[in-house]
Chains A and B, each alone.
Chain A
Amino acid sequence: MKKLLIATCVAAAAVMSAGPVAANDELLVMEQNPADWVSPTGNYANHRYSGLAQINADNVGDLKVDWTFSTGVLRGHEGAPLVIGNMMYVHTPFPNKVYALDMDQDGAIVWRYEPKQDPDTIPVMCCDTVNRGLAYGDGKLFLHQADTTVVALNPATGEVVWKVQNGDAKIGETGTSAVMVVKDKIIVGISGGEFGVRGSITAYNMKDGSLAWRGYSMGPDSDTLMDPEKTTHLGTPVGADSGTNTWEGDQWKIGGGTTWGWYSYDPELDLIYYGTGNPSTWNPTQRPGDNRWSMTIFARNPDTGMAKWVYQMTPHDEWDFDGVNEMILAELEIGGKMRKTLVHFDRNGFGYTLDRETGELLVAEKFDPAVNWATHVDMKTGRPQVVDRYSTRHQGEDVNTTNICPAALGTKDQQPAAFSPKTKLFYVPTNHVCMDYEPFRVSYTAGQPYVGATLAMYPAPGGTHMGNFIAWDATEGKIVWSNPERFSVWSGALATAGDIVFYGTLEGHLKAVDATSGQELYSFKTPSGIIGNVMTFMHGGKQKIAVLSGIGGWAGIGLAAGLTEPSDGLGAVGGYAALSNYTALGGQLTVFTLP
């Protein structure tokens, strides 16, 4: 037995010594195997697509629950488990437990990991103690904990191989995002935009957790890792100190632009992509200027961190439209020409298609007709044409600007969309909610909320539903079909070669719809609301569908009590459905299969 163990170690060492490219190649090969779900985003391109077709449009109606697993934790369960061979790895919100389940042994818990974290981390996590899951690479599992500790775990034993502290929860820096494994590094983001955190993306060497580089969202060029001549914004060099010269005074030091979304990677172009969040505070009058590079899509070199191009979607944010949502990389024909595109559904309600090599803007259209804060995006300057009536800066401090669509939670939040290379369509979970927004002056105290606006949210005019699940054509910027949902759709979608698309609802339903028509083919109500992402894998010759239930997150906070009529004043009663009437807290994994 001992001998065998040594032999295994030698083999592992051989893989590791094959050089820094090995881990990257390993993952590129592994993500091709649809039996596993090795990356939280499905693949490097963030497709959330599976080539599995055992479950398909014809038989998905027969889907049955195969097995379930309670995580033992309440609170919002975002993300999805990973599956590698017979092993499934399940993560939880704070305290960020990890379970390793052996599916060959009836789901026995092979090991569990539970870090000790300071409970003071809990209240500095704006909007629930969520965690978006694990990542795998180089024979390690990576977990980004609430207190910003990043740990590398041994997948066989759960033992900590190394750990590193990415931020400081005492000043409101927290961890909610999954890391991305790229080449010999892991890419780690940071949360805390509502606490005046200056956002950054950090690369650690996968081998030992040592720091490789850190690129801030704002600050001097040495901090943002920008070359004034070579880094471009819509084809034009950004110039010197672009990360400070659209800020007044030292506001950039507490400027927000956090990086808590999903990251993608193009191995051919050797670029990583991600978006930055809102500038802080939420009171725009306190931070005149474009506030670069908050609300920005970044393309960076994974080895050095140097930014190749950027695109700021919402200069001088006035609505909390974080730009962190996933960047989906797809080859699409636009105007008769095949393009390497990046498709992004922003909180601000515009669906963007860019050339991911150059950062050229190709398409920018509203993916919910309710969006009203801007008429359109000027394709030359890339700037949204803001409507004065919905501009909280124009209306000013201490003024309640009403009927802005979308609300601060965006037309879409972090819950990732899926792309099917088969249908060439994007399947997008969306919110259909509007708001009143009143900014006012706030002072900054480290580690304390730094918000500076009061807002009220309500369903978009003309209906009582608060969400849609849509299919989107990113070549034209058009909605192909749209299914209304009672609540915001806060679950990540999954598309498969079986011509079906899965998503979860806040009431707790797992749904399957036809990829072409959107027709509902299956629905099952799980024990709690779904804000997790649907995933699929093979085990024992059978295709399985799995999703985490566990209501919470921004959606659980904003919608639990139900929304009210806008600006109704005294006596307004919740005229719309309260989420608390449909579901309650509870963390559970539900796995489905065919009978």
Chain B
Amino acid sequence: MKKFATLFAALAVLIVMPSQQSLSGEAVTSEEGKHFDADETPTYKIDEDGTVDWFTYSGFRRYHSECHVCHGPDGLGSTFAPPIVDSLKTLSYDDFNDVVVNGREKVGASETSKMPAFGINLNVMCFLDDIYIYLKARSDEAIGRGRPAKKHRKTEVTRTNEIECMEG
């Protein structure tokens, strides 16, 4: 049902605002410090003074532990793997999850590139939304490069969820 709703919403956006970024997500609702856009897709929320929500900050940390050794600092890509800040301009939340969980392989004449499947990696899976939210904020240019200077605190519920998830 969710999938259908997402598809429908995406389609609607496409029809109504063809020149706009169809995947941009402004925070509409929130739950325990986590924000969602009109399609109920997790998204970032940056205050006027630059304070970022916990998940954007958490995503910054997790990205720079798990992803940056291939995709480069701040999602900008490297000589080895593409810039995700660009990928997310066209890649949906569901597609992003699919690629991270299941991996992807590209075979070319001069090189073969391979995104690994992180589906069994708790350091990634428990923070999948965090990483998406951070990269989405980067892709939408809602935040710049480097470590977010100010952040909202992690809620107790989030803390409990993380521990439960990490303990598998």
Contact = CB atoms under 8 A, between A and B. Distances in A.
Contacts of A122: 112-114
Interface string A550-582: 011100111011011101111111100001000
Contacts of B147: 400, 436, 456, 567, 569
Contacts of B114: 119-120, 122-123
A478 interface: no
Contact of A564 (B65, B74, B77): B74
Q: Which of B68, B70, B80, B114 has the most CB of A within 10 A?
A: B80
B157 interface: no
Contacts of B148: 569-570
B65 A453 contact: yes
A258 to B, nearest CB: 15
Nearest to A528: B79
Contact of B123 (A448, A455, A565): A448
Contact of B73 (A124, A448, A552, A561): A561
A160 B164 CA distance: 51
A123 B106 CA distance: 12
Given A445-B122, A449-B121, A570-B149, A557 B144 contact: no
A422 interface: no
A73 B113 CA distance: 12
B146 A572 contact: yes
Q: Main SS of chain A's interface residues?
A: loop
A458 to B, nearest CB: 9
A185 to B, nearest CB: 33
A451 interface: yes
A84 interface: no
Interface in A51-108: 72-76, 94-95
B117 to A, nearest CB: 9
Interface size class of A (residues with CB under 8 A): 35 or more
Interface in B123-150: 123-124, 143-150
Nearest to A455: B64
A75 B64 CA distance: 21
A438 interface: yes
Given A568-B146, A570-B149, A572-B145, A448 B118 contact: yes
Interface in B48-105: 50, 52, 60-62, 64-66, 68-70, 72-74, 76-80, 83, 103, 105
Contacts of A453: 65
B69 A565 contact: no
B120 interface: yes
B79 A119 contact: no
B110 interface: yes
Contacts of A564: 73-74, 145-146
B115 interface: yes
Interface string A18-54: 0000000000000000000000000000000000000
Contacts of A127: 69, 80
Contacts of A74: 110-111
Interface of B: 50, 52, 60-62, 64-66, 68-70, 72-74, 76-80, 83, 103, 105, 107, 110-116, 118, 120-124, 143-150, 166, 168
21 contacts: A72-B110, A119-B112, A123-B103, A123-B114, A124-B116, A400-B147, A442-B65, A448-B120, A451-B69, A452-B123, A454-B62, A556-B79, A557-B78, A558-B78, A564-B146, A565-B146, A569-B147, A570-B148, A570-B150, A571-B50, A571-B144
Closest 8 pairs between A and B when the two form their complex, measured CB to CB = A569-B149, A556-B79, A123-B116, A561-B76, A454-B64, A557-B78, A572-B146, A448-B121
Given A442-B65, A448-B123, A561-B83, 19 more contacts: A73-B110, A75-B79, A119-B105, A120-B114, A445-B123, A449-B66, A452-B123, A456-B147, A557-B69, A560-B72, A565-B146, A569-B50, A569-B146, A569-B147, A569-B149, A570-B146, A570-B149, A571-B50, A585-B79
